[in-house]
Amino acid sequence: MLETLLVWDVELTDTFGGEANYSWVRRDQLALPQDASRRQIVTAAKAALGLTGTRCRTFETGEGFELRPVGSCTVAFVLPSY
C-alpha cells in the first residue's frame, strides 16, 4: 500500500521587536508521511532551513509550529500546505 504524504511549507525570516519582519525570507516545502511525529516534522524543517544543531524554542500554533532559534533574531514557521 502507498504511504500518504503531507506537504509542509517552511519559512525562516528575521524579526523586529520580536515579530516576523520579512525583510528577507527563506522558503522550502517538505513532503513527510501523514503520520509523522512532531519531532520528525521539526527535525526535517530545521534541516531544510539550515538550522540543524541550533537550539530552538518550539511552539505549537494550531496545525503548525513556530521555531525561535535561541540567540538569533529570526523565526521559522512550519505549516501544512492544503
**Is the Cβ–Cβ distance between 43 and 54 less than 8 Å?**
no
As for how many domains the chain has, the answer is 1
- pLDDT tens by residue, the chain, 82 residues: 567 899 999 999 999 999 999 999 999 999 999 999 999 999 999 999 999 999 999 999 999 999 999 999 999 999 999 8
The continuous run of DSSP H or E covering 5 comes out as: strand 5-16
| Global pTM value | 0.92
**Is the Cβ–Cβ distance between 6 and 32 less than 8 Å?**
yes
Residue ranges making up the domain that contains 11: 5-80
Q: How far is CA 26 from CA 36, 52, 74, 77, in A?
A: 23, 15, 11, 11
Residue 38 DSSP one-character state: H
Dig out the grid coordinates for 68 from the structure. Answer: 525561535
Q: What is the pLDDT of residue 3?
A: 74
